Every structure is written in structure tokens, then in C-alpha cells.
Chains A and B, each alone.
Chain A
Amino acid sequence: MTIKDIFDTMDYGPAPEASGDALAWLVDQGSRFGHFIGGSFTDPTDDFDSKNPANGNTLASLSQATQSDIDAAVAAARKAQPSWARDGHKRARVLYAIARLLQKHSRLFAVLETLDNGKPIRESRDIDVPLAQRHFYYHAGIAQLMKDELPDRGALGVCGQIIPWNFPLLMLAWKVAPALAMGNTVVLKPAEYTSLTALLFADICRDAGVPKGVVNIVTGDGAVGEMLVGAPVDKIAFTGSTSVGRKIREATAGRGIPLTLELGGKSPYIVFDDADLDSAIEGLVDAIWFNQGQVCCAGSRLLVQEGIADRFYDKLRARMATLRVGDPLDKSIDVGAVVDPVQLQTIRSMVDSNTSGEVYHAPGALPENGFYYPPTLITGLAPSDPLMQEEIFGPVLAATTFRTPGEAVEVANNTRYGLAATVWTENINLALDIAPKLATGVVWVNATNLFDAAAGFGGVRESGFGREGGWEGLQAYTKPKGKRAALKPVTPFTGDGQPTDLDRTCKLYIGGKQARPDGGYSRNIYGPRGALLGQAPIANRKDIRNAVEAAASAAKSWGKTTGHLRAQILYYMAENLSARATEFAARINDQVGGRSGDKEVDAAINSLFTWAAWADKHDGRAKGVPIRGVALAMNEPVGTIGVLCPDAHPLLGLIASTAPAIAMGNAVVAVGSHAYPLSALDFTQVLETSDLPGGVLNVLTGAPAELSKTMANHLNVDAVWSFTSEDVSAGIEAASAGNLKRTWVETTARDWTTPDAQAFLPQATEVKTIWVPYGE
């Protein structure tokens, strides 16, 4: 082509980013890599190759970690951890140095990322690498402030971290920066397709003065991940597929280590008829064709208001025609290569097996070599079509229509996932009404895929749990300071005494009504001297089912009530309990023995006051994100929470473990103290007189072992908390993998007379980040 020819056609032509420096770095390392353990690289064992998905060329040969590598890495991290945790300012200096070095070597990181992953150089250069830098800057500040701002929190210890191949460096930053800031040390496993920038990161850790053993990087496939999950670490953080997340949940069950999972999604992208359509189209480019659609929060489900759908689809098809697919190192490429032929095949077979709707592939030839899939739009799908439900993880957009805002929410929430959502409307009333109704961890208003270290990111439902970024992200890498004693088993008294009074019938309390147990069984409850105090119903799985149904239904409206109203009701419960204090105290003494009943009733009233007080005070935050706009961190109720109450305190146990959940707008299915169940059942009479809507608190009694499993298994329960002294935690954690509900199992003794807002409030809420850019 002569200049004259180009002058006539006005084509773009090639604009390749030079890859020489990145390739030279690989050669300097011998094009072979071992693991980074204890501050140096191990001898390479050449087990597998890392390839450039744009052309299939081998970039380097990598090592598959063995059990002894994992052991060595964990040991190195363990050894380094205590001194690393000692001085926040020193950590801040190191994290700052890492941020600076990421800046100084920004192009090297970007080019290496694109070579290894296939994403367009524009994205690695303008998005991934700057966001990674920002994460380290932000957390340098967090390390600096930890002592003053989080005085009661301490490091967890050694964190095992497993990251995916779609944002190799950025996910590393999201994992490593907060962990290090909080004084943890890490063993990180990058995805086997994309380990190179992690290894380059290891290299710069040495220049940044990261002490030996603080950062360890082991490479390999899923088997290495499994070994890391099985290693004696104090925390597992995983980003990746929901199926692997589920396995990790099962594998870590009962080990008493915290877990965060950031998993898949099928995020809705909602366009209302008053939206700036051209801008919404451009947003879609950044939603589903960003990183070839290989983004956990990709806006992969397009929901368009019916009246504008045809016009919107026309505009969208026209826009798709100008997307440039090709060599990711070319600066003018919008869509690069899919990471691996396996992934490409998955995308192909999912789209090919679809028989509904209209499939539109963007025109334009794909490169002959390398792994490419054309940007694709499938319109006319219904929520029941598999492509509207299953995550494709490719450049494929599935579209359907809706009629009203209410229907938009219904369709949007009709999914097992709950990671992110996008809403386009020029109407602030509509936007701010819809955002809280979407069952996701992130909502973008008139924008999409905005990220920042200050703003939490993470999902609900099967998109996982835990947040990354912001103050809320630090929960995942800290624990309360101080040691607590192990929880002692509390066994029911036995006896053969006579009833002391007229028979009192205690029933289960489900949906605001007294209910006989489904199974029709009860058991005798004896006092410490063997007196027969009464009978407690034995709930079975059907009672759990009924209670969850009542709770899930109540949660919908309870979660939308004002904190002020919830506070009033909790105070009123306290008032009504206070009026019957003597009776409740006597009943406690009868069951437990001694004369602590008065104190326990006082503590219960105090607890109700505390959580009533919090009901309207657990404020969200407005995050200082680097855009003209605001990122709101809103504390939303989790939904339906199953609670296995502590056994030692018949009344306080029920109240102190459920009131925080109720105060935050959740509905609760509580299993009262197994040893002393009668006070919980008596308390339902107070509930009946206290205006608490039916279903908000359901009270069951029965065997924790059986009931906890049913609750943890139940796909409509959003979280399970266990404070019982029975040995149920492993079973709960394992069973929770079904819908990846949040679990909180305590096996240490808690002082229930002192309400612990720091522990309960985060457990009782989900932080939703709502991004609202503005400007006219």
C-alpha cells in the first residue's frame, strides 16, 4: 500500500506494540522458571509451557509445584510472618515501593501480560497495570493506618491465594496487596496459562525490599491449587470458576480457616428507554467485549426495555461491525485472543448448542492463527434459555427484553449468580430505586466495569462471598486480636422427676405462628436436679423447610423497612421482655441451675437495646474513587440467615445471636439452645406481642446435627451462623457449598453479655458498591 492508497482508503494499518523488551526479559531469565520461594527462584523443572494465545508460540517453560514445593513455600511464609506483621509503617514503605516499581516497569508488565494472556495491549496498558499500581498505593496507605484505624484487628497468618487467568497481574494485586498490608504473608498460585507477570512481580519484589518469604509464588495447574488448599495455611482466597470455588469450600470445611471466593457471574446490563443509547452501546463494548468477555463481572445478559429494543439492537450491530479483532499487541485492537484453545472450544460449543433467538456474529475476518472468537450478539432469548443462565466467559452477549422496571429487576435477579449489574437511565429516581433491588455486590449506573482499590468488589449468591478493596476488603485478611477458649460442650440434664406445675405446651414458632413439630415428637427437658420442666418439640427437616419459606418471604419486606422501624420493634421486644423479667429469670434458673437468671434477662434486654441502637446506625460510606462521581458502599441485609444459637444461655443465646441479624434487616431461622430449649420457646410469646412481622424470627428446637445440615443444604438460605457447642461446623461448611452461602461457625467461647458489633455487623450485611458517575 502506498501512502496514496492509504490516503484513499483511510485504513488504520498495523500499530504494533514492541515486544522486544518483554521477550528479552524472558530470555534473561533463561526462558525457564521455577517457583519463587523464600525470596529466590527454585531450579526450573520444565513441566509445562506458557504460550502466547495470539499465535500459539511458546513463551517460557514453567514448573509444576510438588508437595515439597508447597511445604517449603508455606514454611517460608510462616517463618517470615511474625516480623512482617510487626510494623505497619515498614509494610507501607514496601508496598509503596512495589507500587512505584509497577509504575516504573509498567510497559514491561503490560506487554508481558498481553503476550501471555492475549488481551489487547490497550487493556493491559491502560487498565490492568494502572489498577494494579493503584491497589498497591491504596494498601500502602492501609498498612500505614492499620495501627490507628484497626486497633483490634490482627493478621491471619499465612494466606493461600489462587488466582485466574483473565486478569493475572490485577488479580494478584487484589490478593497480595491487602494481605500484605494487614501483616499476612502469602503463597500465591497464578493460573497455569498465565504465570509470567506473577513471576515478573516476584522479581520486582526483591527490588522493592519485600522480606524473604513474605511473597511466595508457586506455579502449576489445578493440582497445585488443591495442594495449596490442603496446606496448613490460615486463609484461602480464591478467584475463579464457581465449580472450583465449590470444591474449595468443601475441601476447607471444618478447618476453621476463613475463606473468600470471588466466582462467576452472569451480570445483567439493563437499558431503560430513557437512556443515552449511544453511550449505553459504548458501555456494552466495555462490558462484554472487554478482555474478550473473559471477565467474571462481564455484562453478559443484556436486558433492554421492549419499546427501544429493535432500535438498540440495530445500533449495537452497527457498533459491533467496527470492533477490531486481532493481534492483541496491536494498539488499535479492541478484541484480542481467547486465552486457550480449550476456552475457545467451550465458547464455541455453548453458542453452537443454542437453538433459540437470533445469532449475530460481528463481520470481519479473524486472524488465521491463534485462538479467536468473533464478538457475538444473541437476541430474542428468554430467561429459560441456557445462554441466559450459564456463564459463557467469552465475547458473547445474550439479550432479552423487559416491560417495566419491576420486570427488569425480576429478570435481572433470575439467576444463581450475583456479582455485578449495570443500569442505564437518565432518571436518577429510577437508577437509585433499581440499584438496591438488584441482587449483586456491585452496581454501575450509566457506566460499566469501573474498578478501584477504594471500592469493594465481590458478589452474592453463587458469585461467592467476601469483598476485595476498600475497608470492607480488610475483613478478609484480619481477625480479632486476642485468644478465646474453646467452646465447651453443654449437655442436657437428665432425670426422672415429676412435673412441678400445670403442663405448659411449648411449640415451634414459624411464620409468626405457634406450630407443632412436623414429626410429632418432643423430648423431656429436665432441670439440674432432675425435675421435669416440660417438653421441647423436636423439629425435623420439614420444619426447617417451612421456617425458611416463612423467613424468605418475610425477608423481602423486612429488608426494605427502615432502620428506625426495626429499632422500634427491637426496643419494644426489650420492653415486653422486661415486663416478664421475673418469669423468664425463674425459667432460666430452673433449666440451668443457680441464680443467674436475673442477670441473663438483663443481658438479653441490654443486647436488644444494643442492636436496636445499631439498626439505624450501621451507615454505609461514600468512597473516594478517582472519577467524577461517587461509589456508595451500602450495607444491605444478607437475606435469610440460619442461626444455631449458643447452648449455655437459654434466653440470651437466642437474643444475642439473632437480634443483630434482625436489626440489619435479615430474617432468621433460629435453632434454640439444645441443652436448655425452653426459654427460646417461651420468648416467642414476647415476639407475638412486639409487632415483629411473622417470619422475621422463626424459632425451632431440635438436634443441631440434623437441623444444621438441612439449613446449610437449603438453597434458599443465604447464610448460616453456628454458635452451638455441638460439633457441626464442618458439616455446615461442607453442605454450604451447594449455593455457596456464607457461613460463620464459631468454635470458641464468646462472652454473650457483651454485644460485639465489630463481629456481627459485617456478618449481618452485604456491602453493595453502587457506582454513580455524574456530570451534565
Chain B
Amino acid sequence: MKQTLTEKILSAGAGRKVKAGEVVFVNIDWALVQDGTGPLTMDVIEELGKGVTNPDRQCIFLDHASPSSKSELSDNHIKLRKASEKYSMRLFEVGEGVCHQLMAEDCVVPGDVVVGADSHTCMAGAFGAFASGYGSTDIAVAMATGKIWLKVPSAIKIVLEGELTYPTLAKDLILYLIGELGASGATYKALEFTGPGVETLSMESRLTICNMAIEAGAKNGIMPADDKVADYILEHRGVSFDFERLRADDGAEYEREIKINLSELKPQVAAPHSVDNVTTVEELQKEKIKIDQVFIGTCTGGRLEDLRDAEKITRGKTKNPNVRFIITPASKKIFLEAMREGLLDSFMETGAMIGTPGCGPCVGIQGGILGQGEACLSTANRNFKGRMGCGESFIYLASPATAAAAALSGEISSP
């Protein structure tokens, strides 16, 4: 039986060879919750009364309200700190960074099965891992038992060729793909990225791409692990980690194949209120859409590479006076490095404000909430109606380069 990469990893997790369509129990390597979903998970674990399995591989992240903007959210943080102490689970404090970024920096290795009570858990697929988002109760049961039940997904093969050319970035590729697939075009399925184009992508770009697989409804996004993954682990954890270079079998079955030439892509924007509402910046800039806030940050735009790509455009320039320009590095490590490189100085000279590592205003519960009729150009992964606050506001998603261009011009414009 020829297997996809997802089937291979889930076979290892299930302890037998599995194929798409089977419902199986799989051993998990990591489970995570964040401060939005975690309190409910802890209630369920408490009620189950069986404690947790492998507590050093169960992670609690305080990132969505970082720092807390409301006493009720602070109470949730207290609850999660107490749970981490009671069950000896790993706790990542307020200000450390976005859960998915910290999982990438500290935890995941190729071949892992990663489950999390956050839909963007699929980001860890960039390590050649199976990673998928679930609800609080599913994760509670996974934490208690060390297993999760799931249906092995069929897969869509995304063949990447060519190479991205600045200012076209990873975000442009994944927005383009979501536009092609539609918001439910990959529901229940794996998105398996392959082809020579994958090797040309940096690890940071791969993380952004896999993160947004869920925006086409996918169960997971995955890329084969190579030397760049090994280098990333060495750089962030100081250890040489040797792993099997797992690949899909030649002749593995895919539902569909989509070819994308990275060299031909142009900067893209997802217009309100759906991530698949995608058009090119070139086309949309004709409409002269006024932007009130530019937000560069999150698990799909707040990495070092993203900040460098944005700063190239803003360096030595002054932001548009009508724009609030917010930069939120995705982790403390990224914040420190950006500071050492002078990126933060440069952004502040342009007129930006720098936020605490974490999710920033992405989910509308801390600094940078939008008002009536306002428009934000964001490097985040979701532009649903009302997500960043007011129901009558408008979120456009684009790359850090396009966001930087908008900070200067005050409207959606080519980087």
C-alpha cells in the first residue's frame, strides 16, 4: 500500500499501517491549550479525575491576552497557572509569545503527532509532523489518555515549483492557494506540500503556509522535513536532532493535485470577511482603500523574517499620519533579536508602536481593537466579521511587505 506522508505519520502513531478513511486511535506527542480554550479543558480534566498522561508534553500557553486586558481573563490565567502546577504541565507565561511559535521554537520534531485546542495548531506541519486543531473537550481527553481518535484524512497534493521573489512572500502563496481552494475546499483533508519549491522556502515561510491550511478547512498541512528543519531545531534548541527523512510514497493516492509556480505569484490580499476572498494587491489598489490600522504580527506574520521583510520597506521613512502602525513580535526570542538587529528602532522611527509578544489584536481582546467602520491591514490569518472588535469593521489580510507599504501610503498599495 502506497502512503501519503500524513498516512505514514498516523500509522506510526496508531502502531499499524493505516489508510485514508479509517477511524483510529493515535498516540500523541504533544497537546496544547491556550488561554481562550484552556479553562474549559481544565474543567473537563478535573471532572474526568484521572490526571494527565506525560505532563511534560502537555503545554499551556498564556498568549491570547498577553498581557491581560480584563479581570475575567486574568482570572482565567490564574486558573491555568494553578492547573499547570497541579498536573505538572508545562506553562508558557504571558509575554513569552504565541503558542504555535513557541511549539516551533521549543517542542516539535519531525514525525510528531501534535494536537491543540487552537485551530492553527496545524502550523507544526512545517516540521513534517501531523498537527491539527481540536476543541477543548477533545484536548482534555487527549491530555488525560495520551491518545486522540481521528479519521485518517485523504489528501490534496500541492506541488510547488520555482522560487518566491521579494516582495512576494509566503503569505501571498497561501492566500493564493486558499483563494483557489475556497474556505471549505479542503475540509477533512490533508494539504501535502511537495515539489522542488518546498526546499526553496525558509522554515519561517513554511510555518506561515502550514498555519493557514485550516483556512481552507483542512485537517492538517504538512511539508516533508529536510536539512532546514534540522537547522531550525539546532538554532532554537541548541541540539542536533537526527530524524528519518519521511516522504510520501511514489504512487500514493491523492484526491487532487494543484501545481503552483512560486516565481509567477504576485502579492495577494484577502478582503473582508472571508479568507478565500482573495485578489491581487495590484488589482485591489485601484480601489484606493483607506487603512486606519496596520498590524504586523501573529503566528503568520510576526517572525523575524516577516519583520525584516517589512522593515526593508519602512526603513528611513515616516508612516502615514492617519495610520496606527502596530508591530507585535510573535515571541520573546524574536523580540530580542529584532531589537539587536535594530529593526524595532527603525520601526519606531517610522512611527510604529511595539507590542508585547503574543497574539496582539488578532482576536480583538487586547490593544488595537477596531472601531465602527475602520479598516485594518493585518498579517494575521483570519479576517472574519467582527474578529478584531467592532462588527462593522473591515480586516484585510496580506504579507508583511504589503502591510508595510500600507503603513506608509495609508491605503492598500503594492509593496
Do A and B associate with each other?
no
B-contacting residues of A (Cβ < 8 Å)?
none
A-contacting residues of B (Cβ < 8 Å)?
none
